Amino acid sequence: MSTDDKRIREFAYQIWESEGKPEGHEARHWEMARKLAEAEALAPSKAPKAAGSKTAGAKAPANKSSNGKAAEPKAKTKAAAASKVIPPGGKATEKKPRAARKPPAV
């Protein structure tokens, strides 16, 4: 099994899981996965973050807060939606927050 076949299999499995593991949709999942793998292979690779738009030799400013002390580094969080696969032509749905319940009348 080639690397491409493994990647298509991974995509198809992710699509199948994201749709709630339905039965009878294998051909559609494989076709979607094949297109995703093909697009991924054709996409240009990203440059490393260290080679950004800053000029060589330029020093980044120190991360200081308004009081002159070193600021705490910000925590990086990964969006939950980034881990889900949205099929082409699919619609991303977001859950709405629940409204607070009213206390029972006495």
HEC per residue, 16-45:
HHHCCCCCCCHHHHHHHHHHHHHHHHHCCC
Residue 95 confidence (pLDDT): 67
Question: Is residue 75 situated within a structural domain?
Answer: no
Identify the band that residue 63 occupies on the pLDDT scale cut at 50, 70 and 90.
low
Asked if the structure places residue 19 within a domain, the reply is yes
Q: Where are the alpha helices (DSSP H) in the chain?
A: 3-18, 26-42
pLDDT at 26 over 70: yes
DSSP lists the bridge partners of residue 70 as 64
| Whole-angstrom distance, CA of residue 88 vs CA of residue 101 | 38
- Output the average pLDDT for the chain: 73
**pLDDT, position 25:** 93
- Count of structural domains, the chain: 1
The total of other beta-carbon atoms located within 10 Å of residue 14's CB is 18
Residue 17 forms part of a structural domain: yes
Residue 58 forms part of a structural domain:
no
In a domain, 25, yes or no: yes
| Confidence label for 34 from pLDDT (cuts 50, 70 and 90) | very high
Share of the chain above pLDDT 90, in %: 31
Domain that holds residue 28: 1-43
